[in-house]
Amino acid sequence: MLPDLLTANSLIMNIKHWILILFASLLWLPVRVSAQREQIGEAVTFHDTTWYDRGFDFYIGGGMFFGGKKTALYYNGSSHNECNLDYLFNNKYRYDEIREAVVKLYPHISMNDQITYREEDLNMTPTYNLSYFIGLGVRYKIRDNWAVALSYSFSRLSVTNKFLLYIPGQVPSNTYRMPEMTLVGKEDRSLIDLSMSYLFSNVHRIVKPFVEVGAQFNYVKVKKFDAVLLDPKTNNPEKTWTLLDPYNGAPYVPGVDMQTYDVIYGGPGFGVSFSAGLKFVVNKFVSIDPTFYGCYSRLGLEVYGDKVMSFSYGAMIRVVMNDFFFQNR
């Protein structure tokens, strides 16, 4: 478990590192190209304006995504959420596993002690970790800088919460440390946006601002939700339990061949989205578009019994090719 977790964390850090490098490099490239053109007096002006006000644009992009705080509460373990710590503590066999693991790690706790959790000890302000953000889309340019855009974006988000277990009759001190658990959640989020887009084509011959506003359809699937008991000496995982119920409500019994189900946690949702960015014209066929993206959405996650509206945002670099690019291959 520990090597797998460390490998996964290292991989995530490497991915984020390279995303930041790519993001900075692509931001710098159009500026450099623009400066060189200014130096040699090359004008990016085309008599045939259909390259930017007719036909199709196709783009692919990647960047960073920040999930909204409200839906992160889904992963704090509260008994008011559909996936919660009661799934472990109200099951005799899971509870015994937890107690045995705690007693093994904490000598001042015995098998006679009651081990539980309290709602007030749970994290009420969890946040999603920084995530990657990839997308692709197509834009049909109607006329006079207006266009209709259809895009698909994907992000895998994760949440990490820590809380102290509660042992009645014992309090934390310099001598005795209370057992600590970590909750780790992971979800896949797919976003489909149908938008109207406007390009401010006359602002500058190379740098052209644009905005997009539209409707969003989304789908969220919870991939993992684990409770992890940490070793107090190393702060490394000692034992892990899932809070997702594969038995569809049937009580867990060890050693029994129980039927499992493909239970889906999450579901579809909707919202509104907007984007704003700068189109750096590389040539008549290609542009690089640094883009800020935001959405106010209702996701398929019930937080404290309610599907809440939450604001999420991200930043992306799009590489855009128009249909002239493909006609001239």
As a three-state string, the secondary structure of 84-152 is CCHHHHCCHHHHHHHHHHHHHHCCCCCCCCCCECCHHHCCCCCCECCEEEEEEEEEEEEECCEEEEEEE
pTM flag (> 0.85): no
The pLDDT tens digits for 173-218 are 655 778 999 999 999 999 999 999 999 988 888 899 999 999 999 9
- Span 89-113, average pLDDT: 93
pLDDT at position 27 is: 47
pLDDT at position 21 is: 54
- Which amino acid appears at position 17 of this protein? H
Domains, the chain, with CATH or none: 2-327 (2.40.160.20)
Read off the tokens for 94. 């899971």
10 CB neighbour count, 10 Å cutoff? 10
- Residues 9, 1: Cα–Cα separation, whole Å: 12
Rg (CA), the chain: 25
The pLDDT tens digits for 110-126 are 898 999 999 999 999 99
Do 73 and 301 touch, CB atoms closer than 8 A? no
